[in-house]
Amino acid sequence: MIFKHSVPIFYSEDVNRSIDYYSQVLCFEHHWKYDDPPTFGGVSKDLVEIFFCKEAQGHPGTWMSIFVDNVDEYYETIKSKGYRF
């Protein structure tokens, strides 16, 4: 048996807004939504996936680490798209 990867599920007050932010500012490439308006959805980039659940699973303020090969390049990319540290 091989464990391949895990997917964090974050609490979200607005799944559309969460997906838009991760796609437009944090540069995640693919997204999907479930329900109308969405109550569940997710984004992905390369092998990293993140799910959002409307006011249910997960807790506000949850932390997560994503490891990248060139964090300085990623920092400059998301900073130019409006990410505020």
For the segment 17-70, what is each residue's pLDDT rounded down to a tens digit? 999 999 999 999 999 999 999 999 999 999 999 999 998 766 667 777 888 898
30 in any annotated domain: yes
Q: Domain of 52: which CATH number?
A: 3.10.180.10
Q: What is the dihedral of CA 21, 57, 74, 45, to 10 degrees?
A: -90
Beta-strand ranges (E) seen in the chain are 9-12, 30-34, 40-45, 48-54
Are the CB atoms for 11 and 58 separated by under 8 Å? yes
Residue 52 is part of which domain span? 9-80
85 located within any domain: no
Residue with tokens 């006011």: 55
The reply to whether 64 falls in a domain is yes
Is 1 inside a domain boundary?
no
CA–chain centroid gap for 39, Å, is 15
Q: Is residue 4 part of a domain?
A: no
For 80, the token pair is 């130019």
- The answer to the question of residue 38 being in a domain is yes
pTM, full prediction: 0.81
Tally of domains in the chain = 1
